[in-house]
Amino acid sequence: MTSVTTEGAGRLRRTATRVRGTGRVRRGALPYLLLLPALLLELLIHLVPMVMGILMSFRELTQFFIRDWSRAPWTGFDNYDLAVDVNRPVGEALLGSFLTTCLFTLLSVALCWFLGTAAAVFMQENFRGRGVLRALFLVPYALPVYAAVITWAFMFQRDNGLVNHVIHDQLGLGGAEHTFWLLGDNSFWALLIVSVWKGWPFAFLIVMAALQNIPKELYEAAALDGAGIWQQIRRITLPSVGAVNQVLILVLFLWTFNDFNTPFVLFGKSAPEAADLISIHIYQSSFVTWNFGTGSAMSVLLLLFLLLVTAVYLFLTSRGRRDADA
C-alpha cells in the first residue's frame, strides 16, 4: 500500500488506507509468520516423534540398536503380531493390562464424575464455610502428583500405614494379619482410590462453573410452581450440565486412560498384575525389558484405540445434541 502523498488527504482517507492495508495483511503471510514458531516446535516435538514411533514399530528395536536405531532389522508387522497374539505371553499380558485399564478407567471416571457433580450441586447454594471447603477440595488437584501419591503410598504401607492401622488395629476388621495393599489383587483398589482422590476435583471445578450459567429465574419460577429442591435439582440443575458433561467425561476418560504418574509413583517401574495400567505396561515393555519395537507397536495400538473411542464418542454425543436441538 502506497503512503498517502496527496496534499490535503484527510485523516479519513489515511484511515481507509490503513484499514484496507490491514485487510490485505490479514489474508497474507502474517498469520503464518505468527504461527511459525509454534509450527516448527509442533513438527519437532509431535510430528517427527510420532512418525518415528510408527517407523520404530516395524523394526526389531532392542537395546543393541539404541545407539543407531536405523540399523535395527525391518520386521514388518511382527511387533503387532506379537502385541495382539493373545495366545503368547506378550499379547496375553497386553490384553490383560488393556482390560484392567478399561475397568479401572470406567470406575474412576464414574466415581470422579459422581463426586464432582454431587459436591458442585450441594455447594451451589451459599452456606457457612463454603469458601474454605471449596479451597480444600481443590488441594488434591493442585498438589504435585508425586507428593500426593507418595503420601498415599505411605498410608497403604503394610506395617506402618494408616489404612491397615484403622482397618486391623482400630476397627478389628480383616483379622490380625495386615493386608498387602500395594501388592496382589488389592492394588487395583488402592490405585482406584488414589486416582479418584486426585481426579474428582476437576469434575467439581467444571460442573461448578457450568452451574453458574443457569439463570436464577429458572429456579424462582420452579419454586413458584411448587417444585421442591430435589425436583429443582433433577429438572433444572442436572439437565443444564448435560452439554458440559460430554466434554468433561471425554477429558476424564483420556486422562485416566493415559495416566502414568499415579501408578508409577505408587508401585514403581513394574506394577502388580491387578493394577498394571497400559501406560506402565508399555513403559515396562520398553524401558525394563528394552524392546522398543514392541513398545512402539503397543503405543500405536493404544493411539488407534483412543482415536477410535474419541471419534465414536464425539459422533454419538454430537448427534444426541442435534436431536435435542431439533
Partner 1 sequence: MPDHRPRARTRSALDPPLSFKVIRAVFLTLLTGFVALPVYVMITSSLKPLSDVAGAFRWIPSGLTVRPYIDIWHTVPLAKYFLNSLIVAGAATVCSVVIAVFAAYAVSRYRFRGKRLFTVTVLSTQMFPGILFLLPLFLIFVNIGNTTGVALYGSRGGLILTYLTFSLPFSIWMLIGYFDSVPRDLDEAATVDGCGPLGALFRVVVPAAVPGIVAVAVYAFMTAWGEVLFASVMTNDTTRTLAVGLQGYSTQNDVYWNQIMAASLVVSIPVVAGFLLLQRYLVAGLTAGAVK
Q: In the window 160-219, what residues touch partner 1 (CB under 8 A)?
A: 160-162, 164-165, 169, 197, 205-206, 208-210, 212-213, 216, 219
Whether residue 277 contacts residue 100, with contact meaning beta carbons closer than 8 Å, is answered with yes
Backbone phi, then psi, for 160, in 5-degree steps?
A: -120, 20
Distance in angstroms between the alpha carbons of the first and the last residue of the chain: 49
- In angstroms, the CA 256 to CA 15 distance is 54
Q: Does 141 bind partner 1 (CB under 8 A)?
A: yes
Whether residue 178 contacts residue 168, with contact meaning beta carbons closer than 8 Å, is answered with yes
Indicate the DSSP class of residue 291.
B
Nearer to partner 1, 289 or 310 (CB): 310
Q: Does 147 bind partner 1 (CB under 8 A)?
A: yes
Whether residue 170 contacts residue 177, with contact meaning beta carbons closer than 8 Å, is answered with no
Helix (H, G, I), strand (E, B) or coil at 62: strand
Choose, by CB under 8 A, the member of 2, 3, 8, 26 that binds partner 1.
Answer: 26
Q: Which residues ranging from 35 to 74 are in contact with partner 1 (CB under 8 A)?
A: 35, 37-39, 41-42, 44-46, 48-50, 52-53, 56, 66-69
Nearer to partner 1, 48 or 106 (CB): 48
Nearer to partner 1, 120 or 188 (CB): 120
- In angstroms, the CA 20 to CA 2 distance is 11
Nearer to partner 1, 38 or 326 (CB): 38
Q: Does 83 bind partner 1 (CB under 8 A)?
A: no
The span of 79-87, 89-97, 181-189, 250-258 binding partner 1 (CB under 8 A) equals 250-258
